[in-house]
Amino acid sequence: MTASASDQHAPERAPTARRTVGLLADPGAAAELARRLGRDLPDLLGRQVGGSWGVEPVETELELDENGALPVVEIGSRALDDRGWDAVVLISDLPRRAGTEPVAADGATGHRVGLLSLPALGAVAQYRRARDTVLRLVADHLVPGGGDTRSGAAAALTRLDASGERTGGDADPEDTDDAGSGGAEEAIDVRLAMTGARGRMRLLLGLVRANRPWRLVPSLAPALAAAAAGAAFGIFYSNIWSLATALGIWRQVVVCVMALVAMVVWLILNNRLWERRTDRSLREEATLSNASTVLTVAVGVLCMFVLVFVIALVGSVIVIPGHYLASNLGREWGVDDYLMIAWLSCSMGTVAGALGSGFADEKAVRQAAYSQRELERRRRLDEQDSSRR
């Protein structure tokens, strides 16, 4: 590979000279992860590559281009010029794809610039995967003389060539053009991806984690109030007690699932969270985004359900005396009776909560359902889609 102009004129470094890697991270989860990497990576790089290393995490808002993608090389090269680092890695919670393959890391070796995309790392063990991936990216590709660090979580990543195909000629015969948020930059010559269905599932779960679905609960205060009111009705209405204990577990499950699905569908449609795109590449982006939206809202609604269930269970134990419950049931009461009553009451409350969610502020729901970077990406794609119509 031909060295870039900046590399050709760079001064010779002594083998023991201290080398510095910069981490430019979006605010929030990415910045927190970068700070942890700043503490751990110097020792790891020293052991794997040798020499003295410094890692400088910097929290900054990484600007998107008109397509809602990150201009990785432009941002990284500007940071190298300003700060004098030996290499730089951008860290973002925006997804990157090469065709259908989720990209965990990109690298422009001639510019000593890389990118770590958090969603492709999945929802669990994200820090360990991020640490190993950045270590492999820097040591193997961005810094001359680096060693082979294909160990740990990064060993499962497949290197793709510049066209998005797997190195070694084992690529699938499918469209491998860069799509959507993946962006296409000619200078990027290294892509590390988790290929296949496992990689796509990891990307989807990583997007859900980036959206932080538990934030939906406080933004759905009207729905929560309506759900609590509906659950209270079930606690105070004695006919519900008999019905709840007679339904059995499987019918309770069906009622519960129907209530949860109704609320998820209502939230998505009422708050216009579903994406519709006309352009082919944008439709592919919309498919992934819509799948993450459904899971994000579903997890948020489930969190609300659990909260209402706990309230309903405590309320039923306090309000319904055991002997009075036994007299209504015509038999001895048990702990499972209170659980079934709270469960059915909570399912009823969830249906009422779906109606109450219509009074929630749409802007607040959208901000709670998505990360800030996803909101910005959607806005850019809306503008791009509108311009093509």
Query: Strands 101-108 and 97-98: what pairing?
Result: antiparallel
Query: pLDDT digits over 326-380, tens only?
Result: 988 888 888 889 999 999 999 988 888 777 666 566 666 666 666 666 666 666 6
Take residue 286 and report the two structure tokens written for it: 């919309």
Spatial distance between the Cα atoms of 2 and 68, rounded to a whole number of angstroms: 30
E strands within 182-287? Answer: 190-193
3-state SS assignment for residue 175: coil
Take residue 243 and report the two structure tokens written for it: 């019905």
| Same domain, residue pair 228 and 84 | no
pLDDT above 80 (res 99): no
| Same domain, residue pair 192 and 218 | no
| Same domain, residue pair 169 and 47 | yes
| Same domain, residue pair 155 and 38 | yes
| Same domain, residue pair 228 and 168 | no
| Same domain, residue pair 157 and 224 | no
| Same domain, residue pair 150 and 9 | yes
User: Does residue 321 sit within a domain?
Assistant: yes
User: Does residue 236 sit within a domain?
Assistant: yes
User: Does residue 203 sit within a domain?
Assistant: no
Spatial distance between the Cα atoms of 124 and 206, rounded to a whole number of angstroms: 8
Question: How large is the angle between the packed helices 196-211 and 280-319, nearest 10 degrees?
Answer: 60
Cα 108-112-118 angle, rounded to 5 deg: 65
3-state SS assignment for residue 62: coil
User: Does residue 89 sit within a domain?
Assistant: yes
Query: pLDDT digits over 134-193, tens only?
Result: 998 998 888 866 555 555 666 667 777 555 555 543 334 343 444 344 455 678 888 888
Q: Which amino acid is at 297?
A: V
Take residue 184 and report the two structure tokens written for it: 């296409």
Query: What pLDDT does residue 1 have?
Result: 39
Which residues contact residue 280 at a Cβ distance below 8 angstroms, ignoring those fewer than 6 apart? none
3-state SS assignment for residue 179: coil
| Same domain, residue pair 146 and 223 | no
In degrees rounded to 5, what are phi and psi of residue 214? -65, -15
| Same domain, residue pair 178 and 127 | yes
Spatial distance between the Cα atoms of 82 and 239, rounded to a whole number of angstroms: 72
State the total domains in the chain: 2
User: Does residue 359 sit within a domain?
Assistant: yes
Residues spanned by the domain of 268: 213-370
Query: pLDDT digits over 12-38, tens only?
Result: 444 557 899 999 998 888 899 999 999
| Same domain, residue pair 98 and 152 | yes
Provide the terminal-to-terminal Cα distance of the chain, rounded to the nearest Å: 42
Spatial distance between the Cα atoms of 235 and 283, rounded to a whole number of angstroms: 46
| Same domain, residue pair 121 and 236 | no
Spatial distance between the Cα atoms of 332 and 326, rounded to a whole number of angstroms: 5
Take residue 74 and report the two structure tokens written for it: 């432009």
Spatial distance between the Cα atoms of 43 and 37, rounded to a whole number of angstroms: 10
Query: pLDDT digits over 244-258, tens only?
Result: 888 889 999 999 999
| Same domain, residue pair 254 and 188 | no
Query: What pLDDT does residue 123 have?
Result: 84
